[in-house]
Amino acid sequence: MAAVEDTMWWYRALHFGALDRLEKAALPARAAVLDAGCGTGGFLARLAAARPDLDLHGLEYNAEAAQVAAAKSPARIATGTINALPYDTGRFDAIVSHDVLCHGGVDEAAALAELRRCLKPGGSLFLSLPAYRWMASAHDRHVNNVHRYDAGEVRAMLAAAGVAVRQAGYWNAFLFPLMLAHRLTAGRHQDSSDVKAFPAWQDRLFFGVTEAERKLARMGLTLPFGGSVWVWAVKES
């Protein structure tokens, strides 16, 4: 992750799409934002470049990854688990979490309760999660994903956790047929994850496709399927 997240098309698409969705929260200067499960800090670095006025924090379970994140971004990085966040109640104006609830070792109910607890009233929660159980492949095993979701399931999960879903949908729709073909054939037996450097031409092509989808999404045009689910929810009280 540390080696490729700044350049690989998928991470760039994830991060730029997440920045677009975070705009929905209309965060003021000095708003406190947590990346829960920040990995090696790639998204925090992009967010710091886009919004240097925010008070940024990251939480990461893996101590080595947390050290990399601390060096890569100006955010304050803590080591800990999303099942028991080491922050005061009502600490954050917004929390983002990318592909974390799906991991083995995460207690979904406990983690969502903790995310809600740490949001201020009116605070926003932004999640991105891998889509569709039937899309599980060797990649999921290599990155310790034990759950995949559809948008309806995520909506119900968040409603049960006491946060109000404002919007939900899918991203990486244009490349989904190619992803599907790979995951259901060779991808079921590959000996490594899909997190790797791609040939330069292929990386440019895939990122260009995701950028076209992103531009349409900014205009309000989306497709009802994709490789990942995203959701924006709000703690109303």
- Residue 155 is given by DSSP the state H
**What would you measure as the largest C-alpha separation in the chain, in angstroms?**
48
Q: Look up residue 148 and give its two tokens.
A: 């995949």
Tell me the C-alpha distance between 87 and 59, whole Å. Answer: 10
CB of 98 within 8 A of CB of 14?
yes
- In the prediction, which pLDDT does 180 show? 86
Kindly list the distances between the CA atom of residue 89 and the CA atoms of 25, 136, 157, 170, in Å, as whole numbers in the listed order: 19, 35, 21, 30
Residues 48-85: tens digit of each pLDDT: 999 999 999 999 999 999 999 999 999 999 999 999 99
What domains, with CATH codes, occur in the chain?
A: 9-234 (3.40.50.150)
Q: Which residues pair with 128 in a beta bridge?
A: 98, 230
Dihedral Cα 148, 72, 21, 86, nearest 10 deg: 70
- Cβ within 8 Å of residue 86, ≥6 positions away: 59, 78, 80
How many residues comprise the chain? Answer: 237
- Cβ within 8 Å of residue 10, ≥6 positions away: 172, 194, 195, 206
CB of 130 within 8 A of CB of 227?
yes
Tell me the C-alpha distance between 117 and 85, whole Å. Answer: 9
- CB count within 10 Å of CB 58 equals 28
Q: With a cut of 70, which residues of the chain have pLDDT below it? A: 186-189
